[in-house]
Structures are given as C-alpha cells and as structure tokens.
Structure 1
Amino acid sequence: MRLPSWLSQHLAALRALLFFTVALGLAYPLLLVGVAQIPGLSGRAEGSLVEKDGTVVGSALIGQHFTDADGNPVPRYFQSRPSAGGDGYDPLSTGASNLGPESVADTLPDPADPESGSQSLLTQVCARSLAIGALEGVSGARPYCTTDGVGAVLSVFRADGLTGAVTRAVSVNQACPATPFLGTYEGATVECATPDGDYSGGVITPVRGDAPDTSPIPADAVTASGSALDPHISVAYAALQAPRVARERGLAVADVTSLIEDHTAGRALGFLGEPAVNVLELNLALDARA
C-alpha cells in the first residue's frame, strides 16, 4: 500500500527531527562532556578556578580588578587591563565597547544627572593614560589628549561650511567652566562646551599637541580586550609596573622581574599573538613569596 505523498513527507520530516534531536541534542553534548574530562582539559572545562588557602580567589581564564573599596588600584599588586564588561570582568556582560577610531567626541553629562553622558574612546584612553602615568611615575601624555585627560578635539565652524575662515571653535570634550586646551584656533577664540550645546554644524577636528609619538604606557594598559575578560597583560605593561610593586613590597626589582618571567605564557601555538602575563597568578606568586 502506497502512502499519500503528504503523509510520506511528514514521516520523513519526523524521522529527520528525531535523528537530529538524538545526534545534536544528546550525542554531541555527551561527546563534549566526555572530551572535557580528558586530563589537561578538565580544569579548563570546570572554569580553571584558582584557590588560595582552600578558598577560590578567581579564575585563570577571567581577569579581575585589584582595587580597594573605592576603586583605586592597590599599589602592592599588579593591575589588570581595563574591562568593558559590566562593572569590569563580568562574565554575564562579556563583549567589547564597540567604540572605534572615530569615537573622539564625548557626550557631556547633564549637570542635573552626572551619570548621564558618555566618554568617547579617545577620552577613555586619555584618562586611563593620565591615571596610569601618575601611578607608575611616568608621563601619561599621549597625542590628541589634553593635559586634564580628555580628547583634544575641536568642533570648528567655518564661514562657508567646510571652507573659509574659522568663525568659531569649541573644545567639545571640555565642559564649562573648564579652560580649553587651546586659547585660539586659526584666529578664533576656543570656547568650552556646554551639555546642551549643538556643535553638529562644525567639523570635528582632533588636535595632535606636542606629546611624543610613543608612550611608556603600552596600548593594553589603556584599552579593553574584545571579550572584556582577558586575564593577561602584556610583558611591557608588567615591566612598567614592576618598580612600583617591588617598592611597595620591599623587594628587589630583579626579583619581581623574575616572577614576571615565570608567569609569562608564550605565543599560542608558538606563533599566534604575543607573550602575555597572567595577572592573578603573578599576584598570588607575590603573596606566596612574601
């Protein structure tokens, strides 16, 4: 007896549904669970948790901040790179800030609501560089940054729109009553910005300033990772922090540098990426040494 075509089609669809349910809903997950139990992989599958004196203090795969209750860096510890995940390194908010090279103009906060507004990527980098420079005792100056740690950016108005004499210039990232980083620009007095000001008619113009091309503060110290969870910092950032950590702990810089080398992982597969230092493991090693 030949089944109607519509019934044959439904039975075929049902068989495909059952097959893929068993294969992808049961067999494949069980296979992955089995692979995760292979020696060398089981620790990662369970979160690579790190314990100290029997207490879990973090994960080797997820970064964390080493700050006090007010959010200030604890000087005796190496500091992690910034994180864009929630309040920082939140596994439930993993992801990048999605800000790119053209993010140079801030949205100034309303005076009645200080939490409103947002910083551009440029201002975030400038502010972080200034703070790290003060912490490490080096210059935090960077090109296109003001001395007060915001992006050195003007909204420039010209007589003929995009051409002609400059009729007005506003430092869009410096809210009044701040003193603009430039007194004049092409003959026009530079103004500070107001939260309710409309500067969209001007040309956004970053101003380079006289900071050197290279900074002693490496890029990973002032930018977040794409996942917001990176537990590593560059060897250069670790080396920058070594004198401070050694001073705070009463150790020789050479001893701290040796610990950095011991906790530096090489390139993935020998050629991908750059060597990196796991901050949590390094700080635990410092505590153990003390």
Structure 2
Amino acid sequence: MAGILDSVNQRTQLVGQNRLELLMFKLVGRQRFGINVFKVREVLQCPRLTNLPKQDKYIKGVAHIRGQTISVIDLSKATGGPEIQQTDDCFIIIAEYNRSVQGFLVSGVERIINIRWQDILPPPEGAGKSSYLTAVTEIDEEMVSILDVEKILNEISPVSTELSEEIVDETVGESIGDKVIMIADDSTVARNQVRRALEPLGLNMVLAKNGQDALDQLKAIDAECEHAIGEKVALLISDIEMPEMDGYTLTAEIKSNERLRDMPVILHTSLSGVFNNAMVEKVGAQDFIPKFHPDELATAVKKWLKID
C-alpha cells in the first residue's frame, strides 16, 4: 500500500470543487465500501493483534504501530455483519476521526477513486444496513456504501455532549431573539450531538441533512427576509463531508451570494488530522472547530454571535 496517499497539499486542490477521493474496500462478501482519503493516515497489512480484558465486542484487538497503541475495530461486525474471522490476509485502515486514531479491520482494500459530491447521495430508505450508512454512490455499475463512522464510534465509545458549568448560559438564545442556528451534517448522530451540546445556550436550531439541503433551506428562509438572511439565521454550523454538496462548496456558495454572505459559517468536522487554515480561507468560513468538544463549539458559537 506504499504510495496510496499523496500529499495533503494535493488534496487541498479539491477544496471548493465539490469533489473528494474515496478509498474503496470490502468487508465480508462482495459489497464495496468507501472512506474519504482525507481521514486515512495509512493502510497496512493487518499486524498481530493483542486482546485486552473486557474489550468492546467490536474491538478485534489492539495493534502497536509506530510507537502508538491503536484499537482495531472489526468494521463488519460493528455494522451488523458477520465477524471477520481470519486476519492474516486482511488490512487495517488507520484513520483519524474526532481527534483520535482508530484502526478499521477490512478484508480487502481496492483503489482510490476521484468523484464528485453530487454523485454521492443519501442512502435509500430501507436499504439493509441503512442505519449505518451516511451515503451511497455508484462505481463500475455497482453500489458503494459510505459508512456513518461517527455513529459506529459513538456506539463503541459514546461522546459526551455536556457543557462545563462556566459555558452554560441560556441568555445567549435570548440575546438573538427569534433568530435560529442552522446545523448541517449528514450524520444523524453528529447533528444530534451538536444540538444537545448547544441546547444549554437556549438557542433555537434548525437541522439540514447535507449541504444542498442547507442551501435550499437558507434560500427559502431568505426569500421571506426583507433585507438579508441575518434577520432570521444568526449562524451556520456545517460539517465538511456531506453527500450532494460538501461543506466547502456550501460555504463558497453562501459567501458568493450577496444576501447570504454576511452570515457567519463555522466548519465543524472530524477532518482534524489533515486540516489546514488555507482551506477555511479559500472558501471564506469564519472558523473551524474539529469534532467533538462541546465547550470549544459552544465558545465559538458565542464568539460569532458576539456574545462575551
């Protein structure tokens, strides 16, 4: 797998182009899956795994890689499929989500493909493991499933959404009156995490399931405003990875729209390991908060609402 990842600088050229690169892999069976290359540190032949006492049932074991001990998750079992039995010919995808590094055990790794976000769609209703899918696409006339990794990780190690006492302040919502905060994220788990974290600020929130949905809602709200969107929407918090329209493109669309451009945008994403400030500057977002630390998110929200 040497050379499967190019430099981060090359990846940043995709910013604002509404494109991504998917690393395709298989679990048990013929079904193909994908993970954004931005999340991937490296791909390795599965090393010897060590079992730990009372480890989670989805953890296959831990591996010692480059001086770091990494939990290896059986991605098939964690999504309701059969356990991967033999690991000798398997691979682990070392990925960084939400400021932590995990290993995902997969049976095989294929190739990297470059694709438009428009070609990545929300999962169809009732599509088998739909509760663990965040999107689907078609490659070589076959469906490729993109897993809701944040849901998987939250089931293994739930994320706290509680704010520290000194951050809690219900008057924040009172200060902006009837204005709302919009939250755009394709993961139901992630949307609810943000919503729960910000509820102690007394905010009214509306939710969008991806960038296109957010833009459509914003334009519909703006059509009812006399002057600009800021009359009704005080702030947008957006994920970056979303089907149909990613957070970079959403931000660029907002900032190029005369009636929307003054609305602050916070990019809130699990792409913490490879993110750099050039991405925020290129699309014109006001801030970037890596997932998921509720105090940091709430503090940023208060800052851009001009609340001390």
State the TM bucket, normalised to the shorter chain.
under 0.3
Larger radius of gyration: 1
Instruction: Tell me the TM-score normalized by structure 1.
Output: 0.24
Instruction: Tell me the TM-score normalized by structure 2.
Output: 0.23
